[in-house]
Amino acid sequence: MGRKAAVTTYNIDNAIGPGTANELTVRRFFVNYTKCDALEAVAVAVEFMKKKNVDAVIASPCPARK
């Protein structure tokens, strides 16, 4: 595992819990930012599932708009 993968594994374990990440999960970890646009977020999720064969998409909630 390279240095970036090791740091990412550490960060995931820190955020979610010990033993959550391993080399396989880190190598298959994709990130894309959507600026809290719902349509763009759905498009990114569909792209990940179709083109990158991702089984699950995890996203943080966007702040409520006033």
pLDDT number for residue 29: 67
d(CA 38, CA 40): 5
Q: Are residues 61 and 47 in the same domain?
A: yes
Q: Are residues 66 and 35 in the same domain?
A: yes
pLDDT number for residue 42: 86
pLDDT number for residue 24: 66
Band of pLDDT at residue 10, cut at 50, 70 and 90: confident
d(CA 13, CA 7): 10
Q: Are residues 37 and 61 in the same domain?
A: yes
Q: Residue 35: which region, alpha, beta or left (left: phi > 0; alpha: psi -120 to 50)?
A: left
Q: Are residues 41 and 59 in the same domain?
A: yes
Enumerate the H helices of the chain as residue ranges: 3-16, 23-27, 38-51
- The pTM score is 0.48
Q: Are residues 41 and 66 in the same domain?
A: yes
pLDDT tens digit string along 30-62? 777 778 888 888 888 888 888 888 777 777 777
Number of domains present in the structure of the chain:
2
Residue pair 9/1 in contact by the 8 Å Cβ criterion: yes
Q: Are residues 44 and 60 in the same domain?
A: yes
Q: Are residues 18 and 38 in the same domain?
A: no
41 is in which domain, residue-wise? 31-66
pLDDT number for residue 40: 85
User: To which residue do tokens 């600026």 refer?
Assistant: 35
